[in-house]
Amino acid sequence: MPLDHLWATWRSAYVGRVVDTRELPDPTEAAGRSLFERILAAADEEGDEATGVLWRGEVCFALINRYPYTSGHLMVLPNRAVADLEDLTEEEHTELWAAVRDAVVALKAAFSCDAVNVGLNLGPAAGGSQSEHLHVHCVPRWEGDANFMSVAAETRVLPISLDEAAARIRAAWPT
């Protein structure tokens, strides 16, 4: 069966902005920084809404996933790139898990989902594409959301835009 193409051209602009260091005032600033550290730095310049930042704490933040499994898929992560849970500071650990709890509350309120998957991939062998910067995925789920499109057509249907999903989550985030 040939692979069908579903164009999502907005991804190119997003990836280009956070990966292409030529657009930074000082391209050497990106050296050694993780993708998520660069996104957070871009948010300082462009604003949280423009970069998908949903919430900021003292040492952690939440980010809408630009490549979601389903509408509302977000990630909670420390500000600094740290690969392993055991390398988090006590402050990062405490704030990270409190923010994961708040993210679940926000997802349930924003999307009336039936459940939420929470998980992380630690290390390259676990399947994470950004393994140098741990991040906790929070994915809203609904009864019956695993339909034929993913299985038969290898396609995900996202009924809510990223901007709308982010706005809903920000509005529902516990203060």
In a domain, 92, yes or no: yes
- 81 is in which domain, residue-wise? 10-172
Kindly give, in sequence order, each residue whose CB lies less than 8 Å from that of residue 89, ignoring residues fewer than 6 positions away.
59
CATH number of 160's domain: 3.30.428.10
What are the E-state strand segments in the chain? Answer: 53-56, 60-64, 74-78, 115-119, 136-141
Contact, 68 vs 169, CB < 8 A? Answer: no
Record the tokens describing residue 110, joined without a space: 């924003």
In a domain, 146, yes or no: yes
> Could you list the active site residues?
135
In a domain, 18, yes or no: yes
**What does the chain come to in residues?**
175
pLDDT class for 149, splitting at 50, 70, 90? very low
Give residue 28's pLDDT: 44
For the segment 89-110, the average pLDDT, to the nearest whole number, is: 98
In a domain, 5, yes or no: no
State how many domains the chain has.
1
Q: Is the pLDDT of residue 132 over 70?
A: yes
State which amino acid sits at residue 164: E
Question: What would the pLDDT profile of 52-74 be if each residue is shown by its tens digit?
Answer: 999 999 999 999 999 888 899 99
Give residue 31's pLDDT: 56
* Comparison of pLDDT for 1 and 53, the residue scoring more: 53
Give residue 30's pLDDT: 55
Number of neighbouring beta carbons within 10 Å of residue 89: 12
Contact, 103 vs 138, CB < 8 A? Answer: yes
